[in-house]
Every structure is written in structure tokens, then in C-alpha cells.
Amino acid sequence: MAAAQTSEWTTVIKPKSSLLSVDFGELWQYRDLYRMFVKRDIVTWYKQTILGPLWFFIQPIMTTIMFMVVFGGIAKISTDGLPQPLFYLAGICLWTYFSECLNQTSKTFIENANMFGKVYFPRLVVPLATVTSNLVRLSIQMGLFFLVFAYYLIFTDAPVHPNLYALLTPVLIALIAALALGFGVLFSSLTTKYRDLTFLLSFIVQLWMYATPVIYPLSTIEDPRLKMLMQANPLTSIMETFKFGMLGVGEFSWAALGYTAGFAVFILALGVIVFNKIQRTFMDTV
Amino acid sequence: MQIQVFAQLNLARHCEAEGRGNLGRFIKDLEKTMTAIEFENISKQYRLGLVSTGTLSHDLNRFWQTKVLRREDPYLKVGEVNDRAHKGASEYVWALKDINFKVEQGDVVGIIGRNGAGKSTLLKLLSRVTAPTTGTIRARGRIASLLEVGTGFHPEMTGRENIYMNGAIMGMSRAEITRKLDEIVDFSGCERFLDTPVKRYSSGMTVRLGFAIAAHLEPEILVVDEVLAVGDAEFQKKAIGKMQDVSRGEGRTVLFVSHNMGAVKNLCKRGIVLNQGQVAFDGGVEEAVGYYTSKSIIDNVWHKQICDFDHLNQAKDVQFLSIEFAKQANTFKIDEPIEFIIQIHGNKNVEKCRINLTIYSADGTPIGSVSNTETFSIKHGEIKTIKISLKNNHLAMGYYNISFSVGLGNYLSCQTDFEVQKNILTFEIKSDLEQLIAAVGQWNHGWGQIMLQSQTIEI
């Protein structure tokens, strides 16, 4: 009797759900909400600022100048013979995308607790929208990168050698998005109980940048053990592949990229499963 | 009801077995259209106090102090220490316990109960904000929950953008919202401000817009939590009218939680009274409201501590510390003066401060107010104790709530309130024995709440 009847109910609310019951169909139903969240993020970023979207440019430019002074000028870290602005800008664009996505998605539950406490929708829509809206920022900054890139390619004889591997860029961005989303939702699930992790995370992201070849090329690492450790970082191969394809320096291997892809899939799956489990009762603990 | 459904289903099966599929299907359809929501053994458990202190270091410290050193929990707040918590075995509390009921399609059910009876928890479960501890809720059709209007409104976005935003959060598709946009705008009365950011709206307008969106959701099941308490009288009337249309004309199921017994009576056919997490009464709305107002509204509290000295809120110029009945009880005889002792604290030097109070009947209807013209001054850091006497109040027998406000100005001038305490105390007006004999019988509630006094002379 029970079995015959449940099939006719459209909504069944139960205490526990199985571990893998992520409802992707439901997520698809809420695609309009996803679109609205993306729009909201973009519309509200620089509302009531004088410079508005110009900040998208100012941030990477200022960071690049700072890196040129500190790492290029004072510390004299190698850029593999490339012009410093181009080298730093390439790293900064990708890294900013990763760190912004990670920082923002990791606050999903805490920042939206008020809304989540009032109405149900698949919570995963929020971090997905965050990762998407940040793509806009990324593409504007990539535009800046391509301007600088074109300048060095056409007007100077700097050793810039773009090649076919540059076509991997969309894949690299997808991998960054997957990694940031995976880590972000995992962290956001854990921060519902322990707020310490938000402080820890901003700290981790800072350190993580130095563990990733953003401001230096992987080739400067000589100690093989340290290099192994560096390559365990899933972002290393992304940075190196991007610089290899666009600028013709760095180290590229399909194995390293494959490792990153596998890592991304794993962390994304883990993050989504944990997130899905937490979202059912997080209002009781947040 | 349960038996009926069983019987019908059995019949349906029987018919199918007999090969008379049509009749079987018909009865199945009939059965399907009957129950909209079914609560089966629903319970929700919360842990008393805090689940965790919120930071890892504090949790570790707490574990060390309580479990290893066997000291008292260093993070328990004052007031949380009660006997139950100390026994350990009962550090869990059931916000809801074994709730079983069904709601028929097209029914409008009012859920009433005192604060903490479990009403909000029930709605939270139904709107899937949190999951139940045990049991199952089954529902047919789209559930839209209105625990708040305007959820997800972003102050920087325009009214139009927020209509799409809020609609999408409620589960409407873009096309659906576009189709109803004109209707929504019309209903809200915010047409002129549609392309203005919502942060420029008055709070009333924001609520109107939020409710207008919700009213056009067209879900099969609508869950509403006291959203009608906001907005002006005209809008409340409009909102109640819309909800009546929704339930009567369009055959939708509505679950309505409110403290406003007038609205509940107006809207609902059936009433469910919750008490301490359990269904105390389930039946017709008149009986349910009667049950609630007679049984559960009065508590024997004559003193309410509002704020203690360590938790002063500097945002308020003057604030309440405590309010109590001077006679240290909350039952009064007819026309007995009702006296309050009120302690207030000044966070600034304030001249011409006044205290107002409003009395409500048990069903939430305002009966009368004192807009005090007698003022006093209070200095920064000063605690003042004030006595207010309510003489010749003419209140009829029954139960009442009182709200207090402290602020400046009265009904003759502009007013500002520093703090408002709604329904902070309850009291009962009883007739004493002598008067009862003289009056023979009881005050009929159909006569209103005020005992008018007249003079009758023959001319």
C-alpha cells in the first residue's frame, strides 16, 4: 500500500537521504534562479562606485606593478626570460579567478543563511552562480592580458611563442572552476559548524598562491623532492600549461594535466556530496 | 478517514483484479485528489543550548573543561543552566513530537499555538528549510512557503529585477513571471517605482511587492507564516482577500500560521492547536480558536525581565529593563485598577519621555491604548522606576495581552518609540463572587470587550 501511494506523491520529505542522492533534475528546474543569481552578482558588484567595472582592470594592474617591484625588482625572481608584466599578469588572471571563486563559494551557507532559512531551493545553485559570475571578471581580465600579450607579440621582439596548446585554455578555466567549486562547497559545509575555518581559509589561499607557480616559473625549483611536492598541487599544471601554451615557456605534460583533471573530479564529487548532506539540516547548526 | 482511504484503495485493487480497470482508476484518482499533505509521525529534535560554540578552539576547550577536567561548561550562557540540562540525559528537546495529520486538498488550515509550541518548526519542515528527525511528510503538488515576503530581495537591484529574483527563488520560471508581471505590479501598487532600486523603497512598499509576487505564485500548496502582520490596513485586507480567493476559488491548499485569531477565523475552515510540540486540538476553526484562547493564552507570569544591566543596547536612547504588575499577580477583578511597575534605563539624557501601552484581547484585536501625556526625564546611565495605574478600565471578563512602548510624544504630537515590547504580559479580568451573583452569568464575547456604563432614568 505504501509503495503504491508514494509513487503518486510529488514531494516526500524524510529525515535522512542516501549519500548519493544529489538531485540534478531539480537543479535543472531552477536554472532561471541560477541565471538571476549570476545577474545579481554582476549587477551589484560595483553599484554606487565611481569607477565601476574599471576596478576589474585596476586590481590586476596594481597587483602586477607590485609584483614587478617586489618579486621582479627586489627579490629578482626569474620569469623565464619573459617580460615581467606579461608573466605576472598571466598568473594573476588565473589565480584571482581561483581565489575569488574559492573565497566566495566557501561562504555560501553563512552569507545566505537568512535566505536559506526561509525558502527551499537547491542550495547548489548559489555556488554554481558564483563560479559563473566570476567568469565575467575573468574574461575582462583576460582581455587585459591579451592586450598586453598582443603588444609584446607585435611591437617588441620579446621571446613570446604562442602555440597550439593555447587552445587548452577553456579546459584550464573549467578545471579551475571545478577545483574552486569543489573546495569551496566543501569548506562552506564545514564552516556551518566551525567558523574558524573561514579565517583559516583566507590564510590558506594566501599561502597556496606561493605554493603555486604564479609569481615564479616551475623551472626555478631545482630540488626534485620539492618539485614533486609542487606537482602534487593540482593548480601547478594549470598555471604551467597556460604559460606554456600562451607564452611558450614552462613545463607541460599530459600526465600532469590528467592528474589535475582527476583531482578536480574527485574534489568536486566529494564537495557536492558533503554539501548535499549538510544542506538538509544546516539551519539547525549555523 | 484513514479507514476510508484504505477501503477505497482495496476496492481499487479489487476492481483492477477483476479487470474493471476504469472504475479502479476512477477511484484511485478520487483518492489522489483527496489528501494534499500528510504528516506521518513527524518529530523534530533540537539540542538544548548550542550545538557547538561556533569555533573549533572553543569546542575543544569545552570538551577539555567538561569531559576531562569535569568542570562546568565555560560557554553556557546565564539562563541556559537549568535542571534538565544538568542531568545530561535530557539535553535534547523535542520541538515536535509525533505529529500526525492530513490536510485535504482545498482546505485552509490555521495553525495556532503559543510561542514555542512548534508552529514555525512545522512550517520549516514543510518548506524543506530543515529536515525532520523522524517521520515522513508527503505532499502533492508544488509547495510554496511564505515564511517571509521578499526573500532574496537585493537592495541594489530594481523592483523589476527583484520580482524576477524573488519569483525564481520561489520556484517560478522566467516565462511564468513575465506573463504575470503586469498583474504583480498592479497588485503591489508600486508601478511608479518599478525601475528604482529597492533600497529606496519604504519598508511597506517592499512588503507589498514581496506579497504581490507570492500571491501570484499559484502553487498547489501555500504555506503562510504571519506575513500579514505587516503592511497597512488596506493592504492587509487586500492580502486576506487574495488568500481567500486562492483557497476558495482556485481550490488550493493553504496552511496558515498566525497569532492573529481574527485573521485565522476569517480565512480558515479548520484549526490545529499545537502545544509543546504536539497536536492539542484539531477541528473546526471556531472551536480551535476557542480552545486556544481559553486554555493556553494565560500564564501566571506577573514579572518580565526584558534586559539586564550587562546587555544594554546603546542603540536605544531609553530601554526597558523589566515590567511587572504591582500586585504581583495577573488576575484582576472588574474595574480593579491595574498597576504596572516599569524599570527603564537611560542610555542618553532624554527629556519628556513617556510610556504608552496598548491592550489587546486574546484574539489579537486591539482594545484600547494609553497615550501618555505625563512625561518624565531620564539621565544617561540612570535607572528609573515608574508606576502606571490604569483606572476605570471597563474591561469585560476575559484574557488580555499588553504591549508597551517607551518614547517621545503622544497622540497630540509626532511620536517616536525607542523600544516597543509587544504582548509582553497577559492578564485576566475575573468577576469576583459577589458581582457574579449580582450579574448572574457571564459576559458574552459577542458583546465586545468593553463594559460600557450608562445611566438610566425615566423621563
Domain ranges in chain B are: 1-33, 302-458
Residue A192 pLDDT more than 90? no
Chain B nearest CA to A9, separation (Å) = 5
Residue A126 pLDDT more than 90? yes
Q: Which residues of B touch A118 (CB under 8 A)?
A: 127, 129, 145, 147-148, 151
Residue of chain B nearest A279, judged by CA positions: B130
Please name the residues between 413 and 432 in chain B that touch chain A, using a CB distance below 8 Å: none
Confidence of residue B241 (pLDDT cuts 50, 70, 90): confident
B346: Cβ contacts below 8 Å, ≥ 6 apart: B317, B318, B378, B379, B380, B381, B382, B383, B384
The b-or-e profile of A96-135 (16+ CB within 10 A means b, else e) is bbbbbbbbbbbbbbeebeebbbbbbbbbbbbbbbbbbbbb
pLDDT (tens digit per residue) in B13-23: 444 444 445 65
Q: In what order do the strands lie in the sheet with B270-275?
A: B143-146, B221-225, B253-257, B108-113, B270-275, B278-284
How is domain B302-458 classified at the CATH fold level? Coagulation Factor XIII; Chain A, domain 1 (2.70.50)
C-alpha cell at A154: 607585435
Whether residue A172 contacts residue A238, with contact meaning beta carbons closer than 8 Å, is answered with yes
Residue A213 pLDDT more than 70? yes
Among A12, A32, A118, whose Cβ lies nearest the Cβ of B173? A32
Residue of chain A nearest B44, judged by CA positions: A15
For the beta carbon of residue A249, count every other beta carbon within 10 angstroms. 19
Q: Do A10 and B136 touch (CB under 8 A)?
A: no
Residue labelled with grid coordinates 517592499: B206
Cα torsion for A66, A69, A75, A81, to the nearest 10°? 100
Among A115, A121, A196, whose Cβ lies nearest the Cβ of B57? A196
Angle between helices A84-105 and A196-210 (to 10 degrees): 160
Q: Do A11 and B54 touch (CB under 8 A)?
A: no
Residue A4 pLDDT more than 50? no
Please name the residues between 187 and 216 in chain B that touch chain A, using a CB distance below 8 Å: 197
Chain A nearest CA to B370, separation (Å) = 36
Residue A105 pLDDT more than 80? yes
pLDDT of residue B419: 87
Share of chain A above pLDDT 70, in %: 95
Interchain contact B3–A (C-beta under 8 A): no
Q: Do B127 and A119 touch (CB under 8 A)?
A: yes
B338: Cβ contacts below 8 Å, ≥ 6 apart: B325, B332, B389, B390, B393, B427
Please name the residues between 125 and 184 in chain B that touch chain A, using a CB distance below 8 Å: 125-143, 145, 147-148, 151-152, 154, 156-157, 161, 164-165, 168-174
pLDDT of residue B20: 47
Q: Do B169 and A9 touch (CB under 8 A)?
A: no
Q: Which residues of A touch B165 (CB under 8 A)?
A: 36, 40
List Cα–Cα distances, B102 to A52, B17, B64, B212, B218, in angstroms: 54, 29, 47, 29, 21
DSSP 8-state code for residue B197? B
Please name the residues between 306 and 325 in chain B that touch chain A, using a CB distance below 8 Å: none
Where does residue B326 rank: exposed (0-12), middle (13-18), buried (19+ CB within 10 A)? middle
Q: Tell me, what amino acid is at A62? A: M
Q: Do A195 and B141 touch (CB under 8 A)?
A: no
pTM of this structure:
0.69
Kindly report the backbone phi and psi dihedral angles of residue A223, in degrees, each rounded to the nearest multiple of 5, phi listed first: -60, 120
Residue B12 pLDDT more than 50? no
Q: Do A9 and B141 touch (CB under 8 A)?
A: no
Residue of chain B nearest A12, judged by CA positions: B138
C-alpha cell at B457: 432614568
pLDDT (tens digit per residue) in A22-79: 778 888 889 999 999 998 888 887 776 777 778 888 888 999 999 999 988 888 888 8
pLDDT (tens digit per residue) in B288-343: 887 887 665 556 677 888 877 777 777 888 889 889 898 888 888 888 889 999 99
Among the ranges given (A186-195, B5-14, B77-86, B211-220), the one the predictor scored with the smallest mean pLDDT: B77-86
Confidence of residue B409 (pLDDT cuts 50, 70, 90): confident
Residue B8 pLDDT more than 50? no
Residue of A8, A32, A285 to mutate, testing the B interface (most B Cβ within 10 Å of its Cβ): A32
Chain A residues within 8 angstroms (CB to CB) of chain B: 1, 4-6, 8-16, 29-30, 32-33, 35-36, 39-40, 43-44, 47-48, 115-121, 193-197, 280-285
pLDDT (tens digit per residue) in A215-233: 888 888 888 888 888 889 9
Among A15, A119, A197, whose Cβ lies nearest the Cβ of B133? A15
Q: Which residues of A touch B56 (CB under 8 A)?
A: 194, 196-197
Residue of A18, A110, A115, A120 to mutate, testing the B interface (most B Cβ within 10 Å of its Cβ): A120
Give SS3 for A253. coil
pLDDT (tens digit per residue) in B51-78: 455 556 666 766 666 666 666 555 544 3
Residue B99 pLDDT more than 60? yes
List Cα–Cα distances, B75 to B59, B61, B66, B89, B90, in angstroms: 9, 9, 10, 19, 18
How far apart (Å, rounded) are the C-alpha atoms in residues B350 and B437?
50
How far apart (Å, rounded) are the C-alpha atoms in residues B277 and B299?
18
Chain B nearest CA to A53, separation (Å) = 16
Angle between helices A125-155 and A84-105 (to 10 degrees): 180
Q: Do B151 and A9 touch (CB under 8 A)?
A: no
For the beta carbon of residue B111, count every other beta carbon within 10 angstroms. 26
How far apart (Å, rounded) are the C-alpha atoms in residues A41 and B296?
47
How far apart (Å, rounded) are the C-alpha atoms in residues A173 and A261?
11
Chain B nearest CA to A133, separation (Å) = 15
Interchain contact B359–A (C-beta under 8 A): no
